[in-house]
Amino acid sequence: MNLRGLICRSLLLAAGAMLATTTATTMAFAAEGPFHVEHAWQVGGEGGWDYIAVDPRTDLLYITRGNHVQVVNRENGKQVADITGLHGTHGVVFAPGGNGYISDGGGNQVAVFDRKTYKIMRTIPAGTNPDGILYEPVTRTVWAFNGRSHNVTVIDTKDDQVLATLDLPGKPEFPVADGKGNIYDNIEDKSEIVHIDARSRKLLATWSVAPGESPSGLAIDRAHGILFSVCDNQKMAIVSTATGKVIATPTIGDGPDAARFSMDGGYAFSSNGESGTLTVVHQDSPQHFTVVQNLPTGKGARTLTLSPNGSKVYLVTAKFGPRPAATEGQPHSRPPMIPGSFTLIVVGK
C-alpha cells in the first residue's frame, strides 16, 4: 500500500471510531432522561395482548389477552381476577359509577361486565371487529370503533342499547374524547384523524396527519386542545384541534401502537414495540415539543397506559422463542411466546 493509501486508510479508521463513539454517546443519551423502569413483574398467563386500562375507581389494571382479560394489581403485579368467555379482546373502558365495557373484536360485540364480580352481564352486537373503545362523559355513551366494517357503534350506558351506527371514511384505530362532547379517532388506512360531535353523532371534519403515515395510538392534551397521533413511519403527528393542522412531527421509535399524554409534567408517550422503547416527548409550550428520552423497555412493548394521576406508565411484553420457518400455508409465521414470560413493566420518574 502506498503512502496515499495509508493516509486514506488512517482517516477512514479515525472517522469510523469517531462515528462509533458518537453513536454510543447518542444511544446512552437517549436512554437517559426523567423516566426509568421501576419494576418488571412476571404476570404470566396465556395469549397475546392489546390495550391496557386502569379502572379509576379501583386502581386495577385491565390487560386484554385474546379470549380473556387479566385484572392485575398495579402496585405488585399480582393477578386478582380473569374475565373469560371472550373471543378476541382489544380495549376496556369504564362508565363512572357503572359497568365496564370490553371491545370483543373476535365476537363482533361489546361485553358488559360487573366491576365488583368481574362477571360478564351481557353482550351487545357491534360492527365487524370492534377495536378501539371509549366512554364519552357528556352523553354518557360508549363508542366502539369497528376496524373491519369501518364504522362506530354508539351505546347508551343507561340501558346498554345501541343508539346509532356511524360510518367512517376508513379503518378506525384508537379514539380519544375531550370531555366536552368531541371525539377524535385515527383512520389508519387513510392517515387521517376524524372529528366527531358526540351529541349529534355526526362526523364534523377529517384532518390529514401527513407527513405521518398509518396512525394507530392517539392521545390528547385536553387543556390545550392538542392531539398526539403515533404513526408507523416513526413520527408523532401533533395536531391542533382548533385548526386541524399538524404543528409538529417529532421522531419516535419503530412499531408504535399506543400513546398517552400526562398533565404531570406535560409529557406525551409513545410505546414502540419493534424498537422496544418508550419515546417521551415534552410539551415545552402548545407550539413547541422536544423528544427528551427513548427509554429501553423491551421488544414487543407496544401498548401502554398511565396511572390516574399520570405519574406512572404501564407497559406489557413477553419473551419469544425462535421464529418458525415460513411455509406455503404460513408465509408470515410468528415466534411462539415463552410460557410464563408475560411481564408488566412499570415506568416512573
DSSP code string of 203-258? EEEEEE-TT--SEEEEEEETTTTEEEEEETTTEEEEEETTT--EEE--B--SSEEE
Task: Give every CB contact of residue 43 below 8 A, 6+ residues apart in sequence.
Answer: 63, 70, 72, 77, 79, 316, 342, 343, 344
pLDDT of 20 higher than 60: no
Q: How confident is the model at residue 324 (pLDDT cuts 50, 70, 90)?
A: confident
Q: Of residues 70 and 322, which shows the higher confidence score?
A: 70
- What letters, b where the CB count within 10 A reaches 16 and e where it falls short, cover 38-70? ebebebebebebbbbbbbeeeebbbbbbbbbbb
Condensed to tens digits (0 to 9), the pLDDT of residues 74-124 reads 999 999 999 999 999 999 999 999 999 999 999 999 999 999 999 999 999
Which amino acid, residue 178?
Answer: D
Find cell 488512517 and name the residue: 10
pLDDT digits (tens, 9 = 90+) for 263-286: 999 999 999 999 999 999 999 999
Please, is 209 exposed, middle or buried when counting C-beta atoms within 10 Å of its C-beta (0-12, 13-18, 19+)? buried
What is the distance between the alpha carbons of residues 326 and 334, in angstroms, rounded to a whole number? Answer: 9
pLDDT at 21 over 70: no
Tell me the torsion sign for CA atoms 184, 189, 192, 196: negative
In this prediction, residue 31 has a pLDDT band, given cuts at 50, 70 and 90, of: low
Q: Residues near 322 by Cβ (< 8 Å), separated by ≥ 6?
A: 335
Q: What is the pLDDT of residues 203-257, one digit of tens each?
A: 999 999 999 999 999 999 999 999 999 999 999 999 999 999 999 999 999 999 9
What is the Cα Rg of the chain in Å?
22
* Tens of pLDDT, residues 63-76: 999 999 999 999 99
Residue 286 has what DSSP assignment? T
Q: Determine the Cα–Cα distance for residues 184 and 301; give it in Å rounded to an integer.
A: 24
CB 103 within 8 Å of CB 116: no
Mean pLDDT calculated for residue range 171-185: 98
Range 149-155, long-range pairs (CB < 8 A, 24+ positions): 151/127, 152/127, 152/185, 152/196, 153/110, 153/124, 153/126, 153/127, 154/201, 155/101, 155/110, 155/124
Three-state helix/strand/coil letters over 63-111: EECCCCEEEEECCCCCEEEEECCCCCEEEEEECCCCCEEEEEHHHCEEE
Who's near 38: CB < 8 A, 6+ residues apart? 312, 346, 347, 348
Q: Which residues pair with 42 in a beta bridge?
A: 343
CB contact set of 328 (below 8 Å; sequence gap of 6+):
none
The structure's pTM equals 0.89
- In sequence order, what are the residues at sequence separation of 6 or more whose Cβ sits closer than 8 angstroms to the Cβ of residue 148? 127, 128, 129, 171
**pLDDT value of residue 9:** 41
User: Which pLDDT score, from 0 to 100, does residue 329 have?
Assistant: 76
In this prediction, residue 258 carries a pLDDT of 98
Residue 246 CB neighbour total at 10 angstroms: 20
Question: Which phi and psi (to 5°) does residue 169 adopt?
Answer: -80, 0
d(CA 128, CA 110): 11
Q: What are phi and psi of 94, to 5 degrees?
A: -135, 130
Helix (H, G, I), strand (E, B) or coil at 330: coil
Which domains, ranges and CATH numbers included, belong to the chain?
33-44+213-325+334-349 (2.130.10.10), 49-167 (2.130.10.10)
What's the chain's average pLDDT? 91
Q: How far apart are CA 344 and CA 37, in angstroms?
A: 11
Check residue 13 and give its pLDDT.
38
Q: What is the pLDDT of residue 8?
A: 38
